[in-house]
């Protein structure tokens, strides 16, 4: 599990309709391999099903919260617990390719939650 402050990012995913919380991981050792994961996230005392994206070059962690419609999260602390890896990180040349990958990853993560095929960890 990682717990970190939400910082400003490039807003690329938000521009495609999938806003993400970018986590400040400079002082955190986060030993999860790069990839896309089904995850639970805890924000302001509420748990959310989420998509966790871990990139390596440069090291970057983004979280898309399902069902979150609140205001911006900058400065808030977000705790994230990865449950199951669903896909690899892939480089894209076009916006359309990236959007197709995001849509597929969202579908895969929703399938994980619907199937219950993951190991649940408790977020404190």
Model pLDDT, residue 64? 94
Among 40, 77, 35, smallest CA distance to 55 is for 35
Under 8 Å between Cβ of 39 and 52 = yes
Domains belonging to the chain, first-starting first, are 2-115 (2.40.30.30)
User: Is pLDDT above 80 for 11?
Assistant: no
Euclidean distance between CA atoms 29 and 43, whole angstroms:
20
User: Is pLDDT above 60 for 122?
Assistant: no
Euclidean distance between CA atoms 76 and 37, whole angstroms:
21
Give per-residue pLDDT as tens, 17-44. Answer: 777 889 998 755 667 899 999 999 999 8
Three-class SS state of 97: helix
Using the Cα atoms of residue 62, residue 87, residue 110 and residue 103 in order, give the sign of their dihedral. Answer: positive
């Amino acid at each position: 599990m990682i717990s970190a402050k939400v910082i400003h990012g490039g807003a690329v995913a938000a521009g495609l309709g999938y806003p993400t919380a970018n986590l400040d991981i400079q002082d955190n050792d986060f030993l999860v391999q790069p990839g896309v994961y089904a995850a639970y996230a805890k924000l302001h005392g509420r748990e959310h099903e989420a998509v966790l994206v871990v990139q390596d070059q440069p090291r970057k962690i983004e979280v898309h919260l399902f069902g979150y419609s609140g205001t911006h999260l900058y400065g808030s602390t977000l705790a994230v617990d990865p449950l199951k890896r669903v896909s690899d990180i892939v480089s894209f040349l076009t916006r359309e390719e990236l959007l197709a990958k995001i849509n597929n990853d969202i579908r895969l993560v929703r399938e994980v939650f619907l199937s219950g095929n993951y190991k649940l960890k408790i977020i404190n």
